[in-house]
Amino acid sequence: MESFCLMTFYSTHHALKAEKVLKNNGLKVELIPVPREFSSNCGISLSLLWTDKDVAVVLLTNNGVQIEKIHRR
């Protein structure tokens, strides 16, 4: 069973930008509501494969996207 990474963001703007950046770089991502067990400043989170996490963090950092927290699911 594959593990997933759930990223939360400080704003909806950052969540939407993260989706665009990652999809444009060939990563499979999905925007989902933040699960109840996680708190967030924004109600949207981004789900992707755990194995893509490190690449995603570099891409998002290089594109000015601020990640609030990264969770493993």
The rounded radius of gyration (Å) of the Cα atoms in the chain is 11
Query: Do the Cβ atoms of 34 and 40 come closer than 8 Å?
Result: yes
Compute the average pLDDT of residues 25-33: 97
Q: With contact defined as beta carbons under 8 Å apart, do 5 and 28 qualify?
A: no
Reported as a single tens digit per residue, the pLDDT across 35-55 is 888 876 789 999 999 999 999
Entry pTM = 0.91
Rounded to the nearest 10°, the torsion over CA 69, 33, 52, 24 is -110
Which is higher by pLDDT, 21 or 35? Answer: 21
**Domains of the chain: residue spans and CATH:** 4-72 (3.30.70.1530)
Name the DSSP class of 41.
S
Which of the four pLDDT bands, split at 50, 70 and 90, describes residue 1? confident
Half-sphere exposure of 44 (CA within 13 A, CB side): 13
